Amino acid sequence: MKMLIIYYSAYGHIRTMAEAAAAAAREIPGVEVTLRRVSETLSDDILGKMGALEAAKAQADVPVVTVEELAEADAVLFGTPTRFGNMTAQMRQFLDSTGGLWMKGALVGKPGGVFASSATQHGGQESTILSFHTYLLHQGMVVVGLPYAFQGQMRIDEITGGSPYGASTIAGGDGSRQPSENELEGVRFQARYLAEIGLKLKG
């Protein structure tokens, strides 16, 4: 079963989550995981002004995803930071290039899920994931969230991301906060859950 993890990460938080998800999914026998990023649309000059140039260059080792790879996948997990309660423009640009897959029904019946990040605790993580779900539904995909079987999202002893819609992390206003172990475990759980559903559907 081919599982594809596609992400965009401006400062590295979502990449950390994506790598944790990939490692967890690879623990499932019969699952082949490919990690890809969407292409950057901002110039080096703009990225430099945002303080994101170093993080962007550090991701050069991760290949840019193609539409063909999306079509070949049996299950897909998407990761995106939040921009005003929605996905990033970079992720949207990639999704907008997949109209041909919609025309062919190439993604119908395949499971898909989303994880996200935001600067603040209530910065739009849930709305980002929920609005991303509309893409999955238009493509005829089976939406897979983060069930309450992962009880880490019930914690109140620490600030943490995570909801039934998908795993998430809080980056902090200056981006200094890295994903916590609880948040990483959330995306690992979601990745394994998605992989297991992908195996069942493919089988």
Distance of CA 178 to the CA centre of its chain: 16
Query: What distance in Å separates the CA atoms of residue 164 and residue 197, rounded to the nearest whole number?
Result: 16
Annotated binding site for FMN: 9-14, 82-84, 138
- Give residues with Cβ within 8 angstroms of 170, minimum separation 6: 117, 118, 119, 120, 121, 123, 125, 159, 160, 161, 177, 183
Annotated binding site for NAD(+): 11
Query: What distance in Å separates the CA atoms of residue 104 and residue 55, rounded to the nearest whole number?
Result: 36
Annotated binding site: 9-14, 82-84, 102, 138
Annotated binding site for substrate: 102
Sign of the alpha-carbon torsion through 58, 63, 67, 70: negative
Query: What distance in Å separates the CA atoms of residue 127 and residue 109, rounded to the nearest whole number?
Result: 24
Query: What distance in Å separates the CA atoms of residue 104 and residue 109, rounded to the nearest whole number?
Result: 13
Burial profile 190-199: b = 16 or more Cβ within 10 angstroms, e = fewer: bbbbbbbbbb
